[in-house]
Chains A and B, each alone.
Chain A
């Protein structure tokens, strides 16, 4: 029966309304997890706070397990679920830029909006920088088009709407199980690390 919007069970016009509601819920959960603090977020990078890892690993594992049970029950058609297309060079370059901005600014795009929304000055500065970045990218797009669309000298970058399990031809169920084990192990070991390092006040 699902996904609800691509199969027109919920009309397309509700798309943005639902997006806003989900966005508010997302922001609320992020803020209540403490993600409006840039120091908490970069704590993962410096090794004194692993909340980011816990929240995102938990979210990913719960979603993956839930989706595949839904798929088994016939409640969702996985072939309609959006898969982000893979452009190899663009993903690597973009990942580096994003990581650099992430660790130096202390926010990722979503959390910077949360920081700005509750009035944190670093959040507001980061969001402003984000907008400037979007503007510069848009203006420079003709130059960057090749890398963005996998054309020209980046021909062959486009790997399609591919997932890890399809690429390596392994069962998604097995992969999710392995991923869950890794996640729970990561929770355990990061907790050990957290106990050893000097607590940081922020």
Chain B
């Protein structure tokens, strides 16, 4: 056998061994900086606790809650139906089908805005769509929904309507007063909308 074949065979094996040494592939697709900046400046990523509450009460299937706090915090308290994806694991492939979709609105939840916003930036840079941040996080959720404050008598009627809604929502979510607080760590899994496989042309020998 000529020397050429030995060289070619060696090249094939070396190149294939290079594959074994490769680290797990990293997602290099990113949103261009100008677009990202524009989206960061825009306030449209925020969704208020009132809106989230009303959509949850209506059992809107197009809302999907993602709790980005640690697993311990999640097991202590979270919103009903929320899925726990700790911030450091957010970009794992395991969670990709939940986040990279176009069918539902994903609402990121943390104690306040901070972690949820970091998660939002990660998701947006990865090019995921329909990602929202619960404005004020769980702290705001407690202040608005679980323990709503009665508006002052001089406030407009809308404030009282909102208060009535919040009182109802508070009952629905088991709030009211501190000693009656019901924690829920039940995590229901919502239907996952996965991308359908587009088929290419089949081939053969």
A interface vs B, CB < 8 Å?
A: 3, 5-6, 15, 19, 61-62, 65, 68-69, 71-74, 79-82, 84, 108-111, 161, 171, 173-174, 176-177, 179-181, 183-184, 187-188, 191
A65 and B15 in contact, given A161-B197, A173-B22, A188-B9 (Cβ under 8 angstroms)? yes
* Residue contact A6 to B25, C-beta cutoff 8 Å: no
Complex: A39 Cα to B197 Cα, angstroms:
41
Would you list the 7 A-B pairs with minimal beta carbon distance, nearest first? A180-B16, A82-B200, A74-B28, A173-B19, A184-B9, A177-B16, A6-B198
- Residues of A within 8 Å of B5, CB to CB, are 187
Q: In the bound complex, do residue A184 and residue B13 qualify as a contact, i.e. CB atoms below 8 Å apart?
A: yes
Name the residue of chain A whose CB is nearest to the CB of B29.
A74
Main secondary structure of the interface of B (DSSP, over half): loop
Question: Which residues of chain A have C-beta atoms less than 8 A from B41's C-beta?
Answer: none
Would B15 and A71 count as touching, CB distance under 8 A? Answer: no
16 contacts between A and B (CB under 8 A): A5-B201, A15-B201, A69-B19, A72-B22, A79-B195, A79-B197, A81-B200, A82-B201, A84-B202, A109-B205, A173-B20, A173-B22, A176-B19, A177-B13, A177-B17, A184-B9
Give the contacts of B156-205 with A (CB-CB under 8 A): 195, 197-202, 204-205
Are B202 and A82 neighbours in the complex by a CB distance under 8 Å? yes
Q: How far is the CB of B146 from chain A (nearest CB, A)?
A: 42
Q: How far, in Å, is A12 (CB) from chain B's closest CB? A: 10
Are B19 and A3 in contact, CB atoms less than 8 angstroms apart? Answer: no
A65 & B200 in contact (Cβ 8 Å cutoff): no
B51 sits at the interface (CB 8 A): no
Q: Determine whether the beta carbon of A177 is less than 8 Å from that of B20.
A: yes
B76 within 8 A of A: no
Residue contact B199 to A82, C-beta cutoff 8 Å: yes
Q: For B17, list chain A residues within 8 Å (CB).
A: 177
Extra inter-chain contacts (17) besides given A65-B12, A80-B197, A171-B20, CB under 8 Å: A5-B200, A5-B201, A6-B199, A62-B12, A65-B16, A69-B18, A73-B28, A74-B25, A80-B200, A82-B200, A84-B202, A173-B19, A177-B13, A179-B16, A180-B13, A181-B13, A187-B5
**Complex CA–CA separation, A183 to B199 (angstroms):** 29
C-alpha gap A5/B201 in the complex (Å): 10
Q: List, in ascending order, chain B residues with CB within 8 A of A82's CB.
A: 199-202
| Closest B residue, CB atoms, query A18 | B201
Query: Of residues A62, A72, A80, A176, which shows the largest number of chain B Cβ atoms within 10 Å of its Cβ?
Result: A72
